[in-house]
Amino acid sequence: MPDPAALLEIRGVARGVDLRAFGCTRNHLATAVARGEIHRVRDGVFASHTAPPEVVTAAAHGGALTCAKALHHRGIWTLAEDDRPHVWLGAGGRPHPHPDCRCVVHFRAGTMRLGLADVEHALIHAFHCHGDEFFFAAFESAWNKMLIGSAARSRIRAALPTAGRWLVDLARPDAESGLESILRLRLHLLGIRLECQVRIPDVGRVDFVIEGRIILEADGKGNHDGLSHRHRDLQRDAAASRHGYETLRFDYAMIIHDWDTVLAAILAALARARA
């Protein structure tokens, strides 16, 4: 006998008509609901009890969770969170408002599968909702995690407005932190070129080097907490100094919320290096 609960553990949410392809009849689904094995989201739509609540909300509304929340569920670095669920309904789907509905609806082309949008479409939608920086950091994060292949990257580029396609061209697969992506994008716009992921003798790999003299390190949230990490960073900075480098180290709060201070420090270090 088909097991609707087992199928929904894999899919999270699904339409009953899609589950019939696996042998689940209406009686099978009704029995599973009556036994408490699965949850009926609305007529013809079912969910496992372990499906993320925001994914279930999107399915209740008639679509797929997209934008920042969808990317977050995929483990992709995001610059900001959506304060409300963004729901993709395809090009012409029908919304289903529900109690306490706060959904933001997206009517955009593409094949939408109920529940959670794929990475490719979530990135495209996020570009339109959140702009260049958000998209660039999320795109590099998805690439680094091998969640978008070359064909997907080409499709994403083609789907962006002409004015946004340069972001895909600038992107790299080796950005291990969204902060690195943001820092590189902002400095690129100022005409400051960086060498990325550089190995320096006695130091190891550093995030960026500017003009062969200045090391930039972007420390993410919690990445360098604790005395042992702090001691290691000081050792690396001392080794870099022996080789003639000046190290500038910035954390999440500085890069995101105090950019003027970060930029002033970088420009001052550049002036010293060029003197």
Mean pLDDT by 10 residues, the chain (275 residues): 86 92 90 93 94 94 96 95 94 88 93 94 97 97 97 98 97 91 94 89 89 86 59 84 89 93 95 87
Give the pTM. 0.89
Alpha helices in 145-244 (DSSP H): 150-159, 165-170, 178-189, 227-242
Dihedral (Cα; 135, 249, 216, 199), 10-degree rounding: -110
Comparing CA positions, the residue from 121, 146, 124, 149 lying closest to residue 135 is 124
Edge to edge, the sheet with strand 115-116 lists: 104-106, 86-88, 64-66, 115-116
Q: What is the CA radius of gyration of the chain?
A: 23
| CA 111 to each of CA 45, 92, 186: distance values in angstroms, whole numbers, following the listed order | 18, 11, 34
| CA 238 to each of CA 2, 233, 244, 246: distance values in angstroms, whole numbers, following the listed order | 64, 9, 10, 9
Query: What element of type H or E holds 264?
Result: helix 259-274
What DSSP designation does 75 have? Answer: T
Edge to edge, the sheet with strand 39-42 lists: 13-15, 45-47, 39-42
Q: What is the pLDDT of residue 99?
A: 85
| Strand positions, DSSP E, the chain | 13-15, 39-42, 45-47, 64-66, 86-88, 104-106, 115-116, 195-200, 204-210, 214-219, 246-251
65, two tokens: 């969770």
Q: What is the pLDDT of residue 42?
A: 92
User: What gap in Å lies between CA 249 and CA 229, rounded to an integer?
Assistant: 13
Residue 225: which residues within 8 A CB-CB, separation 6 or more? none
| CA 20 to each of CA 24, 60, 158: distance values in angstroms, whole numbers, following the listed order | 5, 19, 35
User: What gap in Å lies between CA 54 and CA 79, rounded to an integer?
Assistant: 19
165, two tokens: 């396609």
In this structure, the chain runs to a length of 275
Signed CA dihedral, 120, 69, 50, 109: sign only: negative
